[in-house]
Amino acid sequence: MAGVLEKINDALVLFSGYFMDLFKDYSLTLETKAIYRWFFNGTVGFMIALNLTVMVILGGQSLVKKMKHNLIIAQNKNIMAKKGLADIEKKEQKPLD
């Protein structure tokens, strides 16, 4: 997913390069510059929203994975503790010869 996101970011940055004429003072009317600036702002806003969405999704997946891992470890510790206690109790209850 990260490789695809990098390609999308690169494509949007290249696409944003076409808007560099907005920052020059020649040949564009103010109305045209205003319209193009909305497209530029939309492109940058889309890039930010996409990156934040991917970060939240990947962070959530990582959090769920970590919580499951910790839960499994806790369950294994409980099982091993019970098994260890059961072994001790069996040793104590050996019949006398």
Structural domain boundaries of the chain? 2-92
Instruction: Name all contacts of 2-10 with Cβ < 8 Å and 24+ positions apart.
Output: 2/54, 5/50, 5/51, 5/54, 8/47, 8/50, 9/47, 9/51
Q: Retrieve residue 24's tokens.
A: 């020059």
pLDDT of 60 reads 95
pTM score of the predicted model: 0.62
Q: Which residues contact 40 (CB under 8 A, 6 or more apart)?
A: 16, 19, 22
pLDDT in tens, 24-50: 777 678 888 788 888 888 888 998 999
Q: Where are the alpha helices (H) located in the chain, listed in sequence order?
A: 2-16, 30-92
The structure tokens 């260890």 sit at: 84
